[in-house]
Amino acid sequence: MPGTTKHRIETADDGVVTLSLSGRMDLERFGELTPLISTIFDSYTPSSLNVDMAGIDYIDSSGALFIVKLEDEAHARSVPFTLSGLSREKMGILSLIDREALAKPSLAPRERRLNLIEQLGNASIIAVRDMYDIVSFGGELIYEIGHSVTHLRKVRWGDVVTYMKKVGVDGLPIVGLISFLLGLIMAFMSSLQLKQFGANVYVASLVAVAMVRELGPIMTAIIVAGRSGSAFAAEIGTMRVNEEVDALATMGFSPMRFLSIPKVIASLVTVPVLTIFASIFAIMGGLIVGVVGLNLTIFTYIQQTMKAISIFDIVSGLVKSFVFAAAISAVGCQRGFRVRGGAEAVGNATTSAVVTSIFLIIVIDSTFAIILHYIH
C-alpha cells in the first residue's frame, strides 16, 4: 500500500511536546509507531503532549490503538494530553477502542501442564473407563445378537448383505494383493536359507503353515480393522453427531440392534471367508517363487502344502478369524456410539477404533496360541 506515516516531534521551551502525524496510520505502520511512545516520554519528558493529526489521510483501528496507548501512557505519567486535527468521521474509530478490554486479564487461566503422575493417573482412569465401556457394550451386543437369533425375521438382512459387500467383496482385492505379496516374500526369504540345506520343498510347508495358522487370520483382521472397523466407527459417529442415532431412539428403535447387528453379522461371515482367500493367495505367491526360483513343479509344491497343513490348522485359523471379526466390528460400533461433540470426535473415534482393534487382535491371537498349544 502506498504512503507511510510521517511524524515530527517539536518541543517548546516550556516542555510542551507536539507530535504531528501525517499520512496513513494502518496495521503496516503499527510496528513503526509503537516505539514512538517510549521515545517521546523517555527522551523528551514532556510537560504536556499535543498530538496533531491534521495530516492523517487514513486511520484504522491499529492506528487508533496507538493513539489510545499514547494517551494512556500520558495519563499514567500525569502528562496533560490533547488531540487535535482529527475529523469527526475519523474520530469514530477511536470510540471503538475499549480501554478496559486492553488491560482486562484473561478469564480462563492458561492450562497448567500435568505432571507425570497426574498424566499416568488420568490415563489409568481413561483406560479403566474404556474397559468398562467395552465390556458393557460387549454384553449389550451379545444380548442383542441373542435377540436377533431368536427373532431372525427382525434382522435387517438387506443391510447385512450391503455390509458383506463392503467388508468382503470390496476388501478382497487389497487382502488378496497383500497376502499374495506376503507369500511371495516369505517364500523368497526362506528359500535363501533352506536352499543351503537342499530343503527347497519345505518352502511350501513354511508358507502354508505360517499363513493358515497365523499370518492369514492376523493380516486379514488388520486390513479389515483398517478398512471396515474405521468405517463402522465413522458411520455411527457421524450419525451420532447428526442426531440420527437419537432420532432412531425416539422412533422406538434400538440403535444398537438397528446399526450394530447387521455390521457384526456381516463381519462374522465375511472375515473368515477373506481369511481363506488370504491363505490361498499367499500360497499362490509362494508357488510362483517355488516354481520359478526353486525348480519345484506345481504338483510337488501343492502336494507339500497339503501335507503340511492339517484340518486342525485350518479350523483353528478360521475360529480365530471369527473371533477377530467379532472384536473388530464390536470395537468399531462401540467407538462410533461413544462419539460426543462434532466432526473432530468422529476422527478420533475412527483412529481409536483401528488402534484398539489391532491391539485386541494381538491379544486374542496370543490367547489362542496358548489355548491351541494345550488342545493340540
The contact set with other proteins (CB under 8 A) reads: 26-28, 30-31, 34, 60-62, 65, 69, 89, 92-93, 95-98, 100-102, 104-110, 341-342, 344
Residue 146 to residue 231: CA distance in whole angstroms: 25
96 vs 131, beta carbon nearer other proteins: 96
Residues in the chain: 376
Residue 276 to residue 280: CA distance in whole angstroms: 6
94 vs 355, beta carbon nearer other proteins: 94
Please say whether the dihedral angle defined by the alpha carbons of residues 101, 105, 106 and 110, taken in this order, is positive or negative: positive
Strand pairing report for 16-25 and 81-84: unpaired
Nearest approach, Cβ of 122 to other proteins (angstroms)?
Answer: 18
Nearest approach, Cβ of 364 to other proteins (angstroms)?
Answer: 35
Nearest approach, Cβ of 23 to other proteins (angstroms)?
Answer: 16
Phi then psi for residue 56, to 5 deg, are: -80, 125
Nearest approach, Cβ of 102 to other proteins (angstroms)?
Answer: 5
Nearest approach, Cβ of 3 to other proteins (angstroms)?
Answer: 15
29 vs 257, beta carbon nearer other proteins: 29
10 vs 344, beta carbon nearer other proteins: 344
Secondary structure element (H or E) that encloses residue 33, with its range: helix 27-38
- One DSSP character per residue, 70-96 reads HHHHHHHTT--EEEE---HHHHHHHHH
Residue 316 to residue 218: CA distance in whole angstroms: 12
Contacts of 124 (CB under 8 A, 6+ apart): none
User: If you ran DSSP here, which 8-state letter would residue 154 be given?
Assistant: G
Phi then psi for residue 7, to 5 deg, are: -135, 150
Nearest approach, Cβ of 352 to other proteins (angstroms)?
Answer: 18
16 vs 345, beta carbon nearer other proteins: 345
104 vs 376, beta carbon nearer other proteins: 104
